[in-house]
Amino acid sequence: MDMDMDIPLPEELELLEANYQDLEPPEEEPPDSPPCEINAHKRPRADAPDSPIEDDQPKLDDKRTRIVDDVDEDWLRYSPPQEREDSGVAVEEKFVSRYASEIDGDFLPVTAPSGGDRVYVKICRIVGEDRGKKLDIKSRSNGLTSEPINVLLQKVEQETFTKALNSSSEGQTVESLSGKPLVHEQLWVDKYAPNSFTELLSDEQTNREVLLWLKQWDACVFGSEVRSTSEEVLSALRRHSSIAQHQKQNDSGLPRNNRGRRWSHGSFRHSNDLEHENSNPKNIQDLWNKKTRFTGPPEQKILLLCGPPGLGKTTLAHVAAKHCGYRVVEVNASDDRSSSTIETKILDVVEMDSVMADSKPKCLVIDEIDGALGDGKGAVEVILKMVSADGKSNTGKENVAKEEQSGKKSSRKGRKGASLLRPVICICNDLYAPALRSLRQVAKVHIFIQPTVSRVVSRLKYICNNEGMKTSSIALTALAEYTECDIRSCLNTLQFLNKKKETLSALDVGSQVVGRKDMSRGAFDIWKEIFQKRKTKRERKSISSGSSMSNEFDFLHSLISNRGDYDVIFDGVHENILQLQYHDPVMQKTVNCLNCLGVSDLMHQYIMRTQQMPLHVYQPPLAITMHRLVAQIQKPNIEWPKSYQRYRTTLMEKVDILKSWHCKIPPYISRHMSKKSFVEDSVSPLLHILSPPTLRPVALHLLSEKEKNDLAQLVSTMVSYFITYKNMKPDPVPNNLGNEVALDVSALCFDPPINDFINFKGYKSNHYVLALAMKQVLLHEVEKQRIMQLSFGKSVNLTDGHGEHKGLVREEVGKSGSAKINQGATSAELMANAKNLLYPRQCNPSTSTVSSTMDSSRSSTASLKPKFSGDTKKQSNSPSSFFDRFRKLSSKSSQDTDTAVQKASTAQRDSRPLLFKYNEGFTNAVKRPVRMLEFLL
């Protein structure tokens, strides 16, 4: 045989087509031969080498001939109720089983050639004969096919004749071509394009699923004649396979008929079940169940075929659509694909019926839908719109479907214009193109995989033979491998070579003018190629290692330069290179690789700076160098390079933190603190200074004078550096700074989180962490200090007077700090302060005493009217700041003694009877309206 079984004999095909074309109402089909033929007869046939279509055939034959009628519960489960009476004949016995033990009596093992599944079939002649008799009766009453066998045979003859005629005429054209070279020659790609389903080279599973999907449209598309039509096609399809299996096996078409046409439905479903037994039977069963019950269009209204070019996606779409009785309308990238034009086009396809005689329904094939971005999107949008419109009207789908059974024409018009009533097949190369993102979710996606090389080669061989071209299968294999099974490219190459009267030799496939696809691969593929040594046949076959090296070089070079995204590629290499297992005793290879990375970085930087993009050509060799150094045979575990990006983003965050903090620090400090050297030499000491271990977490009035001084200094540092504490949720990651912080429910952390700057992973710093109580005190103090600064900050010359000002602030902090500790004493003291304000003359001495311990003790005894309590809080700061201001004014030139200040301030005070200052935003007491008069008492 000149070809494999998957390329059916022309006769068969013609017969198929003939059958398909003039399929009469199936009632007239007479069963041809009785099914009494013992199944065992068919077994060897099943084991015979044959095409994948036929792979499942024996099983389904078995099933059909013997079981179709009598498969018991399964049958009932799947079939619609009205078919039940037919199945009444069911015999309660297992005939086919996976386990021999389940069959009593004689049985025969059957092995499916495709999956190697083994089933056991019971041999029961009596039943078969029984059935045979029954069937015989039927078959005699009405034949299997519409025409008697002799008519069919005649037809077959005629077809072969025409075929022969055609081929001979083709031969003539070729001859004439040699004489007259200008004559246009048909491209082999077109000439040998598959015309029927069985001729397809693409993966069987995909083919079937595409067909299945198209079938689901039958009910919707073919309207009232849904049953008959679908059955026509179905039976035709089934006949295909059976005939393709062996032409003599006419009996395979028979059992369908002995039950009448409704059976065929079921039987086909069964066969389908069987066919997909090893893939996803459940899913498909469901689909089919649905299909038999509801006659609407399938769930996913769009089929998206994707795969690399040249595998026959378009061909499959065309063939399948034709096969199912559609007229194909193709929109491809060369057409105008703006959304308006495509919408009208789709509507044309979907809504209108052809006025032509054949009046086949149309099927829209949108080719290269991922191709054009701007306009291609229009198409996607329109389709999506239609699908969603359909989804809305989905509720009414069932009655619509019913209507369609009766008078669908009107109902179709009544429907919203933009809904899909015809199958739409979209074809793309890159499934993950951004334009297809939304489409991917609604469409049924099929990914094409490469057909096996042997299939492609056999097909190529067949074509070459037909064309009279001398080739060796080795060369063809090499060609197919080289083009990655791109049939189109193979054929074009062959035709080109044929034209040039050259022969294809296996060794120089690469060097010959075989068009290489300019295909870019994903970054992961590239990393894999870099890290993994290829062990392909091509390399092994090549004679010298030198040529293999150059081959490899060429391959990698084109691969990498096609991708072009060197930055990402080298990042990925950098990320993953150290995870490889390569032999490297003195790290020489690692050093070299990292040097290469360094060079690539330098080059990248230079290119970017000078904008000399042509220099990019020097990038791929670096990657190839690394490949030579570290490539291993085992599969590398590749990760997407994230760490560099993470580093970039975190660095930006930290720099931002620093920047914003830097802006808040008063300029006389911040100008001396550079952002870049802050972490380098300031942060660690600063953190130490900010949390002094000498500070005892005790009540402030228990602190000694010196400790108070320290505290005041600390607060002033925090204020001047704009650092405070802030409530933070406890880190999920235990804080490195100290465990007690992490354990606290509401831990107080530094507000610009400066401690994060020394928070290195896996590093434990020995910074002392203040107790929570201490932090709270500090927080309070700092806040107070800030408010105070704001209140009179404008009048104070910060740069000039901050030295002196600081001293005062410290005093005051000492005072108010002590006030903070015990609330009772605090309020009392504050009241005392308020009172001081009211009776300035009396209280002046007490206010100006810097150490206010006396103050608190005194004021605790002081009896005050409760009506003042509301304001005391507010004014707690104002008295001191009030005095400070005067003090400052007077003490600017020289450090005055307290008494001098006191005098000056009292003198000032006396000139004005009352000074009222309102400090907004700091109160933790009850508010109460107070009249000015009350202060003036």
Site residues for another protein, window 750-779 (CB under 8 A)? 756-763, 765-768
Put the strands of the sheet holding 362-366 in their side by side order: 327-331, 362-366, 424-428, 302-306, 444-447
Per CB under 8 A, contacts with another protein among 302-321 are: none
Q: What's the closest the beta carbon of residue 774 comes to another protein, in angstroms?
A: 14
Helices 878-891, 840-848: crossing angle, 10 deg rounding: 70
Decide: residue 260, CB within 10 A, 0-12 exposed, 13-18 middle, 19+ buried.
middle
* 794 is a site residue for another protein (CB under 8 A): no
Instruction: Using CB under 8 A, pick the residue from 182, 543, 586, 937 that binds another protein.
Output: 586
Between 755 and 875, name the residue whose CB sits nearer to another protein: 755
Place of tokens 């003859």: 157
Place of tokens 């952002």: 675
* 580 is a site residue for another protein (CB under 8 A): yes
Residues 118-137: x where in contact with another protein by CB under 8 A, - otherwise, as a string: --------------------
User: Position 39: which residue type?
Assistant: N
Between 144 and 597, name the residue whose CB sits nearer to another protein: 597
Q: What's the closest the beta carbon of residue 655 comes to another protein, in angstroms?
A: 6
Three-state secondary structure of 525-549: HHHHHHHECCCCHHHHHCCCHHHHH
Instruction: Using CB under 8 A, pick the residue from 354, 465, 536, 579 that binds another protein.
Output: 579
Between 445 and 596, name the residue whose CB sits nearer to another protein: 596
- Asked whether 805 and 888 are in contact (CB, 8 A), the reply is yes
Between 81 and 803, name the residue whose CB sits nearer to another protein: 803
Residue span binding another protein (CB under 8 A) among the ranges 397-405, 717-725, 839-847, 881-889:
717-725
Q: What is the largest CA-CA distance in the chain?
A: 136
Residue whose C-alpha is closest to residue 323's, from 471, 250, 214, 202: 214
Between 692 and 870, name the residue whose CB sits nearer to another protein: 692
Q: What's the closest the beta carbon of residue 433 comes to another protein, in angstroms?
A: 30
User: Position 881: which residue type?
Assistant: S
Between 535 and 672, name the residue whose CB sits nearer to another protein: 672
Please report how many Cα atoms fall inside a 13 Å half-sphere around the Cα of residue 700, on the Cβ side: 30
Name the DSSP class of 199: G
Instruction: Using CB under 8 A, pick the residue from 153, 164, 187, 591 that binds another protein.
Output: 591
- Asked whether 320 and 314 are in contact (CB, 8 A), the reply is no
Q: What's the closest the beta carbon of residue 778 comes to another protein, in angstroms?
A: 14
* Number of residues counted as binding another protein (CB under 8 A): 79
Residue span binding another protein (CB under 8 A) among the ranges 219-227, 425-433, 511-519, 575-583:
575-583
Instruction: Using CB under 8 A, pick the residue from 651, 850, 862, 915 that binds another protein.
Output: 651
Where are the extended beta strands (E) located within 668-805?
725-728, 747-750
Tell me how far apart the alpha carbons of residues 27 and 366 are, in angstroms, rounded to a whole number: 38
Q: What's the closest the beta carbon of residue 754 comes to another protein, in angstroms?
A: 11
Q: What's the closest the beta carbon of residue 733 comes to another protein, in angstroms?
A: 13
- Asked whether 234 and 19 are in contact (CB, 8 A), the reply is no
Q: Which string of b and e fits 549-565 if b means at least 16 CB within 10 Å?
A: eebbeebbeebbbebee
**Residues 65, 67, 69, CA angle at the centre, nearest 5°?**
95
Tell me how far apart the alpha carbons of residues 914 and 212 are, in angstroms, rounded to a whole number: 96
Instruction: Using CB under 8 A, pick the residue from 335, 351, 430, 601 that binds another protein.
Output: 601
Report the run of H or E that residue 118 belongs to, with start and end.
strand 118-122
Tell me how far apart the alpha carbons of residues 137 and 259 are, in angstroms, rounded to a whole number: 12
Per CB under 8 A, contacts with another protein among 616-645 are: 643-644
Decide: residue 424, CB within 10 A, 0-12 exposed, 13-18 middle, 19+ buried.
buried
Q: What's the closest the beta carbon of residue 447 comes to another protein, in angstroms?
A: 36
Q: What's the closest the beta carbon of residue 639 comes to another protein, in angstroms?
A: 12
Between 669 and 854, name the residue whose CB sits nearer to another protein: 669
Find all residues with CB under 8 Å of 839, minimum gap 6, and list them. Answer: none
Between 10 and 692, name the residue whose CB sits nearer to another protein: 692
Q: What's the closest the beta carbon of residue 781 comes to another protein, in angstroms?
A: 15
Q: What's the closest the beta carbon of residue 903 comes to another protein, in angstroms?
A: 28
Instruction: Using CB under 8 A, pick the residue from 717, 822, 844, 908 that binds another protein.
Output: 717
Q: What's the closest the beta carbon of residue 288 comes to another protein, in angstroms?
A: 54
Q: What's the closest the beta carbon of residue 711 comes to another protein, in angstroms?
A: 11
* 720 is a site residue for another protein (CB under 8 A): yes
Instruction: Using CB under 8 A, pick the residue from 160, 558, 713, 853 that binds another protein.
Output: 713
Tokens coding 484: 């990655």
Q: What's the closest the beta carbon of residue 579 comes to another protein, in angstroms?
A: 7
- Asked whether 329 and 364 are in contact (CB, 8 A), the reply is yes
Instruction: Using CB under 8 A, pick the residue from 76, 89, 655, 698 that binds another protein.
Output: 655
Question: 193 to each of 142, 154, 210, 463, how far by Cα in Å?
Answer: 38, 27, 18, 11
Per CB under 8 A, contacts with another protein among 681-710 are: 681-686, 688-689, 692-694, 710
Between 151 and 587, name the residue whose CB sits nearer to another protein: 587
**Residues 564, 565, 569, CA angle at the centre, nearest 5°?**
115
Tokens coding 105: 């009596």
Between 524 and 606, name the residue whose CB sits nearer to another protein: 606
Instruction: Using CB under 8 A, pick the residue from 585, 614, 824, 929 that binds another protein.
Output: 585
Per CB under 8 A, contacts with another protein among 857-886 are: none
Tell me how far apart the alpha carbons of residues 674 and 13 are, in angstroms, rounded to a whole number: 84
Question: 454 to each of 457, 647, 861, how far by Cα in Å?
Answer: 5, 49, 106
Tokens coding 285: 């069963």
Neighbouring-strand partners of residue 245: none
Residue whose C-alpha is closest to residue 662's, from 748, 728, 752: 752
Q: What's the closest the beta carbon of residue 519 comes to another protein, in angstroms?
A: 29
Between 162 and 595, name the residue whose CB sits nearer to another protein: 595
Instruction: Using CB under 8 A, pick the residue from 597, 774, 778, 901 that binds another protein.
Output: 597
Per CB under 8 A, contacts with another protein among 204-233 are: none
* 604 is a site residue for another protein (CB under 8 A): yes
Tell me how far apart the alpha carbons of residues 12 and 50 are, in angstroms, rounded to a whole number: 14
| Pairing of the two strands 444-447 and 96-97 | unpaired
Name the DSSP class of 578: T
- Asked whether 295 and 303 are in contact (CB, 8 A), the reply is no
Residues 523-562: x where in contact with another protein by CB under 8 A, - otherwise, as a string: ----------------------------------------
Q: What's the closest the beta carbon of residue 890 comes to another protein, in angstroms?
A: 19
Q: What's the closest the beta carbon of residue 759 comes to another protein, in angstroms?
A: 8
Between 82 and 766, name the residue whose CB sits nearer to another protein: 766
* 650 is a site residue for another protein (CB under 8 A): yes
| Pairing of the two strands 747-750 and 725-728 | antiparallel
Residues 657-686: x where in contact with another protein by CB under 8 A, - otherwise, as a string: -x----x---xxx-xx-xxxxxxxxxxxxx
Per CB under 8 A, contacts with another protein among 47-76 are: none
Q: What's the closest the beta carbon of residue 882 comes to another protein, in angstroms?
A: 23
| Pairing of the two strands 118-122 and 96-97 | antiparallel
Per CB under 8 A, contacts with another protein among 804-823 are: 806
Report the run of H or E that residue 426 belongs to, with start and end.
strand 424-428
* 283 is a site residue for another protein (CB under 8 A): no
Instruction: Using CB under 8 A, pick the residue from 183, 373, 447, 587 that binds another protein.
Output: 587
Q: What's the closest the beta carbon of residue 744 comes to another protein, in angstroms?
A: 22
